[in-house]
Structure 1
Amino acid sequence: MIRALLAALLLSTPASAADMSVFVRNQRSDGVALELFSRDSDKVWPGGDKVFLIRPGAKKSVPISCDNGEHICWGAWVNGDDSVTAGVGPDNDRPCDTCCFICVEHSTETVDLAE
């Protein structure tokens, strides 16, 4: 009984906040818009109807605050043409096995956007 109570307590403990970075390398000849989507909640980064804009050939590190262990997926598209997409796309509705990662405190996840 005590073990069950301790397990329930551990599972109900809120996740701790973590600060991490996402390093984006845009290897495309087009500018790209990118958003990050939580698979565990309704959070979106940067949020507020904004996107991360990455110029052609540019590299950009974007800091995010997430919950330790949170599953996050990225969606990208050509800036101005959301019919050309990568990852889960602009609406977070495309299947993708290689565009998700787990939030880990003080870590960096790399996203490579190729032609």
Structure 2
Amino acid sequence: MIRLALAALLIASPAGAADMAFFVKNLRSQGVAVELFSRDRNEVWPGGDKVFLIRPQSQKSVPISCNPGEHICWGAWVDGDDSISAGVGPDNDQPCDNCCFICTEHSTETIDLVE
């Protein structure tokens, strides 16, 4: 029984993956959409053409599983108007100085989205 549980655990989580979280605070008066992008491989969170939606003046914890040492960048934009964006933007193509973090096991990074 224990062997089956261990085997299921090993299959469910990729080898070497780190669990990390991003705490996103939307201090704007509009709702925002957020995506996280890997700079080291072709990975996007939440993926599947989905986004993390965060209501005005609210916050959300966004857990991800990433590779230790991987560079994770965030892009955010006003929900319904991606011409108003921050970080690397909705297409991961805008330059930024402080919108990327290093994937570290059991860590949390904070993103403050302001007007």
Q: Note whether the superposition's TM-score is higher than 0.5.
A: yes
Amino acid at match of 1:67: N
Amino acid at match of 2:104: V
TM-score if structure 2 supplies the norm length? 0.86
Instruction: State the aligned residue count.
Output: 101
RMSD after superposition: 0.8
1:21 aligned residue: 21
Please give the per-residue CA displacement for 1:44-87, whole angstroms capped at 9, x wherever unaligned: 00000000000000010010000000001000000000000000
Q: Decide which structure has the larger Cα Rg and report it.
A: 1
Q: Percent identity?
A: 77
Structure 1: state its 5+ residue gaps: 1-14
1:58 aligned residue: 58
Q: Using the alignment, how far apart are the partners of 2:40 and 2:20 within structure 1?
A: 17
1:92 aligned residue: 92
Q: Using the alignment, how far apart are the partners of 2:62 and 2:94 within structure 1?
A: 23
Structure 2: state its 5+ residue gaps: 1-14
1:113 equivalenced with 2:113 (yes/no): yes
1:77 aligned residue: 77
Please give the per-residue CA displacement for 1:9-53, whole angstroms capped at 9, x wherever unaligned: xxxxxx820001100000000000000000000000000000000
> Where in structure 1 do 4 or more consecutive aligned residues deviate above 6 Å?
none
1:67 aligned residue: 67
SS of 2:62's equivalent?
strand
